[in-house]
């Protein structure tokens, strides 16, 4: 009945919202003498606060209208190139400068974990100048009619396989957090079937491949409950009048409730500051608050079958690392992976997907040649910092672009790509387009704590990051609303002042490369596949599918109106081609890029 009460509450507040709108208009009218008094500003601020606290937040927009390509600003538009009932594949189409060389197709597989794909807005912006970027835009389950059918983890894997087939293998997949498991599983299935259409490479970022390694508190908490507990406490039908009426879902508002209640005092303080800013007329600070919470409060429902199968397969049974995962009855065997290069990325202070959990993909694929294994550990970042924030733009994104270009047959030898060995200072390029959501939360975005929508209450790391110190979250409770979530970035409200990028200490990234070579201080060298294989017997147990919390999600450093936009750390200076171990074997027919020709299925 939680969902029904939620709907009734919104209906009950409708008359109050109408009255509130009238009062706000009255006290904002410049012809009203009270508008210019302290009392009038307080009434208007209170009305604004009430409106935001009782509003239904819809899906945010990506809002990416331009990017930089070869030093030239080009317009960007969104285009749906592939569609299924629960997912749309969006292409960020650019009007490329004349004579531009072809660029790799890069598909960002966004997490289906309670927040929209717009969570990866910053990720898209960082990768867009050097790649044809696509993203999986998952559909809110409450908007999908019951007659359309079910959607579970097996269907998620099917969608990934269909997307690879759509590109005829001419695409690189980048799985952010939760999708690391289905992307890795889809690759293993295609390899075992000897498919002609394989992804050119896969990049797994902060994903729960095997959380038996360094299990976090959210992993151990999940094991305290059986699957029936989750089914009884957090699954409920969608009420009328939503299109998905009677579909059983894990509601987004339940996840959000967990986010808010775990650190309620911090959110109350943030909203009190917002009220104070409105009264004082501090429009810049008020705008930053609105931009951040517009993203943070936007949530979507997950289908019950997807949620429960994810909890069971990944969290409770650890089926993938144990070799017990099935896809429609077909075994998923990562040892079949022999052709697809794998890059894994982890954050040093990630307390959602602990160190070694994503790297386990190398251990599970011992038959892949050594030169096709890559692992990179970014220092001084938490879970969210793995795929967004300043260090992502300056240190991680350039390495992803270099890895993608290395294993892309059509990449020009002299492409202007980032050199992964460059420091953060030398990686600054001609400014990318400023993002309208560069808000106060980036200082916290790189904190280790994040959210796990699928399973358990979040845990905020006590370890300080390079930019700010985290404050531990309250202990987990048995509240079903908080049992499935974590509030990683809830720390936002507790950090009164953001720390600018320029003040952050330089990061010493930990990188592993195929062969030992001199590197800068604080780095580690790549461990070859045989070493990964030798560790297979020592792998512990638990798997986790993280759900990044937009409390850090659109978090970027504050930028007052009138200040010049900080340059983006977009890529430049490409590594030369000719690296050993280029992918071989059938790849299917090639598709021209940036030519406007239609791909199979209607894509461009």
Please list, in sequence order, all residues whose beta carbon lies within 8 angstroms of the beta carbon of residue 14, skipping any fewer than 6 positions away: none
Over residues 555-559, mean pLDDT: 42
Residues 334 and 447 in one domain: yes
Of 53, 75, 95, the domain-final residue: 53
What's the CA gap between 93 and 83, in Å, rounded? 17
Give yes or no for residue 120 having a pLDDT over 90: yes
Is 463 within a domain? yes
Q: Which residues are paired to 106 by β-bridges?
A: 133, 172
* Res 505: pLDDT: 40
Over residues 562-585, mean pLDDT: 41
Give the number of domains in the chain: 2
Residues 151 and 47 in one domain: no
What's the CA gap between 348 and 214, in Å, rounded? 12
Is 300 within a domain? yes
The pLDDT tens digits for 19-69 are: 999 999 999 999 999 999 999 999 999 999 999 989 989 899 999 999 999
Q: Which residues are paired to 137 by β-bridges?
A: 88
Is 563 within a domain? no
Residues 214 and 342 in one domain: yes
Residues 122 and 40 in one domain: no
Take residue 423 and report the two structure tokens written for it: 């420091």
What's the CA gap between 435 and 431, in Å, rounded? 11
What's the CA gap between 381 and 390, in Å, rounded? 10
Residues 181 and 306 in one domain: yes
* Res 411: pLDDT: 55
Closest CA relative to residue 172, chosen from 600, 587, 603, 455: 587
* Res 192: pLDDT: 96
The pLDDT tens digits for 580-603 are: 333 434 444 444 344 433 333 333
* Res 255: pLDDT: 81
* Res 216: pLDDT: 81
* Res 262: pLDDT: 66
Please state the separation of Cα 310 from the chain's center in Å. Answer: 17
220-224, 233-237, 456-460, 497-501: the lowest-pLDDT one: 456-460
* Res 410: pLDDT: 64
Residues 318 and 250 in one domain: yes
The pLDDT tens digits for 331-344 are: 999 999 999 999 99
Q: How many other C-beta atoms are found inside a 10 Å radius of the C-beta of residue 138?
A: 23
Helix (H, G, I), strand (E, B) or coil at 296: helix
Q: Which residue has the higher pLDDT, 449 or 360?
A: 360
155-169, 192-206, 250-264, 467-481: the lowest-pLDDT one: 467-481
* Res 123: pLDDT: 96
What's the CA gap between 335 and 368, in Å, rounded? 8
The CA-based angle 524-530-534, given to 5 degrees, is 95
* Res 395: pLDDT: 95
Q: At what angle do helices 252-262 and 264-280 cross, to 10 degrees?
A: 80
Q: Which residue has the higher pLDDT, 206 or 536?
A: 206
For residue 478, what pLDDT band results from cuts at 50, 70 and 90?
very low
Is 547 within a domain? yes
Of the segments 14-18, 170-174, 240-244, which one has the largest average pLDDT value? 170-174
Residues 362 and 291 in one domain: yes
Of 535, 553, 571, the domain-final residue: 553
Q: Specify the DSSP element, H or E, that contains 201.
A: strand 201-205
Is 589 within a domain? no
Is 395 within a domain? yes
Residues 446 and 499 in one domain: yes
369-378, 392-401, 425-434: the lowest-pLDDT one: 425-434
Is 570 within a domain? no
* Phi, psi at 376, each rounded to 5°: -135, 130
Give yes or no for residue 231 having a pLDDT over 90: yes
What's the CA gap between 469 and 448, in Å, rounded? 10
For residue 409, what pLDDT band results from cuts at 50, 70 and 90?
confident
Of 526, 553, 580, the domain-final residue: 553
What's the CA gap between 159 and 302, in Å, rounded? 16
Residues 33 and 76 in one domain: no
Residues 185 and 283 in one domain: yes
DSSP state of 65: -
Residues 19 and 91 in one domain: no
CATH number where 227 lies: 3.40.50.1820
The pLDDT tens digits for 484-538 are: 333 333 433 344 443 333 343 444 344 444 443 444 444 343 343 444 444 444 4
For residue 309, what pLDDT band results from cuts at 50, 70 and 90?
very high
**Contact at 8 Å (CB) between 393 and 431?**
no
Domain that holds residue 117: 66-553
Is 342 within a domain? yes
Residues 16 and 39 in one domain: yes
Give yes or no for residue 221 having a pLDDT over 70: yes
Give yes or no for residue 573 having a pLDDT over 90: no
% of the chain beyond a pLDDT of 70: 67
């Amino acid at each position: 009945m939680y969902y029904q009460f939620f709907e009734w509450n919104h209906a009950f507040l409708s008359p109050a919202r109408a009255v509130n709108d009238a009062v706000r208009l009255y006290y904002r009218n410049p012809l009203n003498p009270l508008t210019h008094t302290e009392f009038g500003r307080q009434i208007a601020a209170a009305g604004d606060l009430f409106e935001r606290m009782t509003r239904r937040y819809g899906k945010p927009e990506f809002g990416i209208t331009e990017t930089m390509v070869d030093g030239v600003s080009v317009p960007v538009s969104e285009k749906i190139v592939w569609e299924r009932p629960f997912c749309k594949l969006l292409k960020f189409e650019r009007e490329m400068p004349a004579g531009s060389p072809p660029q790799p197709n890069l598909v960002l597989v966004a997490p289906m974990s309670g927040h929209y794909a717009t969570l990866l807005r910053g990720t898209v912006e960082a990768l867009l100048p050097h790649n044809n970027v696509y993203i999986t835009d998952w559909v809110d389950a409450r908007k999908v009619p019951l007659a359309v059918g079910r959607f579970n983890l097996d269907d998620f894997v099917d969608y990934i396989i269909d997307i690879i087939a759509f590109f005829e293998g001419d695409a690189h997949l980048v799985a952010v957090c939760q999708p690391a498991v289905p992307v890795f599983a889809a690759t293993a299935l295609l390899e075992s079937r000897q498919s002609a259409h394989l992804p050119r490479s896969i990049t797994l970022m902060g994903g729960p491949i095997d959380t038996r390694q360094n299990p976090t508190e959210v992993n151990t908490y999940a094991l305290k409950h059986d699957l029936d507990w989750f089914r009884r406490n957090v699954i409920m039908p969608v009420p009328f009048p939503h299109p998905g009426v009677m579909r059983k879902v894990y509601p987004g508002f339940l996840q959000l409730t967990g986010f808010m209640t775990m650190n309620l005092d911090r959110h109350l303080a943030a909203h009190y500051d917002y009220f104070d800013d409105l009264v004082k007329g501090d429009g810049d600070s008020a705008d930053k608050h609105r931009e951040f919470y517009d993203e943070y409060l936007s949530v979507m429902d997950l289908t019950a079958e997807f949620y429960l199968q994810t909890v069971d397969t990944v969290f409770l049974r650890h089926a993938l690392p144990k070799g017990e995962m099935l896809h429609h009855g077909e075994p998923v065997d990562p040892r079949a992976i022999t052709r697809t290069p794998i890059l894994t990325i982890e954050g040093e202070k990630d307390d959602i997907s602990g160190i070694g959990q994503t790297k386990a993909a190398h251990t599970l694929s011992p038959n892949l040649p050594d030169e096709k294994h890559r692992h990179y550990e970014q220092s001084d970042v938490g879970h969210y910092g793995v795929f967004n924030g300043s260090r992502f733009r300056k240190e991680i994104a350039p390495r992803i672009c270099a890895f993608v270009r290395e294993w892309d047959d059509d990449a020009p030898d002299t492409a202007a790509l980032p050199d992964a060995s460059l420091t953060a200072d030398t990686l600054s390029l001609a400014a990318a387009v400023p993002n309208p959501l560069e808000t106060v939360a980036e200082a916290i975005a790189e904190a280790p704590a994040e959210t796990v929508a699928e399973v358990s209450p979040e845990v905020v790391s006590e370890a300080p990051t390079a930019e700010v110190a985290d404050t531990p979250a309250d202990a987990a409770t048995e509240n079903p609303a908080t049992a499935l979530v974590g509030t990683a970035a809830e720390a936002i409200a507790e950090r009164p002042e953001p720390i600018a990028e320029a003040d952050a200490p330089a990061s010493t990234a930990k990188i592993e490369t195929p062969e030992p070579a001199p590197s800068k201080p604080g780095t580690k060298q790549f461990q070859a596949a045989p070493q990964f294989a030798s560790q297979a017997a020592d792998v512990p147990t638990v798997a986790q599918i993280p759900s990044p919390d937009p409390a850090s999600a659109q978090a970027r450093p504050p930028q007052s109106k009138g200040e010049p936009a900080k340059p983006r750390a977009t890529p430049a200076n490409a590594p030369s081609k000719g690296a050993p171990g280029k992918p071989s074997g059938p790849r299917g027919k090639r598709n021209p890029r940036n030519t406007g020709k239609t791909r199979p299925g209607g894509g461009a």
